[in-house]
Amino acid sequence: MENFLKAQRGSHVNGISELKTYLHRFGYLLSENANFTDAFDVTFESAILRFQSNLGLSLSGKLDFDTVSQISAPRCGVPDTIFSTSTFTLHGTTRHYAYFPGKPRWARRMPMKLTYAFSPDYTIRYLSSSQIKAVFKRAFARWASVIPVSFSETEDYVYADMKIGFYSGEHGDSEPFDGVLGVLAHSFSPENGKFHLDAAERWAVDFGTEKSAVAMDLESVATHEIGHLLGLAHSSVKQAVMYPTLRPREKKVDLQLDDIQGVQALYGSNPNFNVGSLSESDISTNQALNLRSTTRLSSISAIASFWFFLNLIHFFSSM
């Protein structure tokens, strides 16, 4: 760690080749040659700057503490490259929510109904089936509360729209898992429906009873990956559910305005959704809109109505 912090362009530091491999895997270092060296070169510096920009870090171009800390954090296996971005500006601040290439979405009649199922073969034994199902029911419900899409569990795994399983190592999709921490899970864009979690992780549904220092919150990861299944890519907003990293024993399950506006631009708004249902703390700390804690809910409702109107125009024009 100390050697990385002292590194600068022109230096050679053991381990930089591994950082290059990481940046290449997640879309920041574009190279056909994966035989990386330990040289801190211009290409590596540019990749660091892209990484820092995309994850909302200070743009130092160096391996500072925050950058190395983010690289070492457990994360989703989906690359971070922002292929297509919708932007909006408020209070002079521009933020982004991102999609997969081509902006894919589930193409069904509205209101949409999608099914999900759990693999009968690829699961974990230290959590009961009822515990796992309860976590996913809550995670799907969060997304359903903001868009006109409902999710129901089915026992028919073969024909379910979304297929969930816990896998180890290489498992047939050319995206092998890497053991404890590292990559936690990955899922695929619409309408693939595959959602894979690393069985090697210590998955937790209650940190009160699960004492492991490396325990990962299953509900947080489930909520994040469902966003990918619906068509969202990663967000640069740190509070957003769609931010790519999650720390051990951290819980992040509440959709932020960045998450909501991104998914509503794809599917429209649930007619029962009201921004007032978000807690004041969620709104006041949401970097996507750069709102101060003193912002009144009445003003936020007016803003949300404006964006809801724009989302409806976008939704119907894309049909």
Domain that holds residue 272: 76-319
Q: Which residues are catalytic?
A: 225
Looking at residue 32, what is its pLDDT? Answer: 73
DSSP 28-79: SS--S-----SB--HHHHHHHHHHHHHTT----SS--HHHHHHHHS-EESS-
The answer on 46 and 173 residing in a single domain is no
Same domain, 57 and 105: no
pLDDT at 82: 53
For residues 201 and 180, is the Cβ–Cβ distance under 8 A? Answer: yes
Q: Which of 267, 256, 246, 266 is nearest to 304 (CA)?
A: 256
Are 62 and 165 found together in one domain? no
Does 234 belong to an annotated binding site? yes
pLDDT of residue 274: 87
Token couple for 119: 């693999």
Q: Are residues 277 and 309 part of one domain?
A: yes
Is 24 among the annotated ligand-binding positions? no
Is 96 annotated as a binding-site member?
no
Q: Are residues 118 and 50 in the same domain?
A: no
Quick one: 100 and 241 in the same domain?
yes
Residue 156 is labelled as binding a ligand: no
Same domain flag for 177 and 43: no
pLDDT of residue 282: 54
Q: State which of 55, 72, 89 marks the end of a domain.
A: 72
Residue 290 has pLDDT above 70, yes or no: no
Longest dimension (CA), the chain: 57
Q: Which CATH number belongs to the domain containing residue 203 in this structure?
A: 3.40.390.10
Domain stops at, among 30, 55, 72 = 72
| pLDDT above 70 coverage of the chain, percent | 82
Query: pTM (2 decimals)?
Result: 0.84
> Cis peptide before 191, with omega less than 30 degrees from 0?
yes
Q: Are residues 46 and 136 in the same domain?
A: no
195-236 pLDDT, tens per residue?
Answer: 999 999 999 999 999 999 999 999 999 999 999 999 999 999
Contacts of 312 (CB under 8 A, 6+ apart): 268, 269
Residues 6+ apart with CB under 8 A from 69: none
Residue appearing with tokens 């894979």 = 196
Number of domains in the chain: 2
* C-alpha span between 104 and 199 (Å, rounded): 28
Q: Is the pLDDT of residue 296 over 50?
A: no
Q: Answer with the one of 11, 44, 72 that is the final residue of a domain.
A: 72
As a whole-number percent, the residues of the chain with pLDDT over 90 amount to: 75
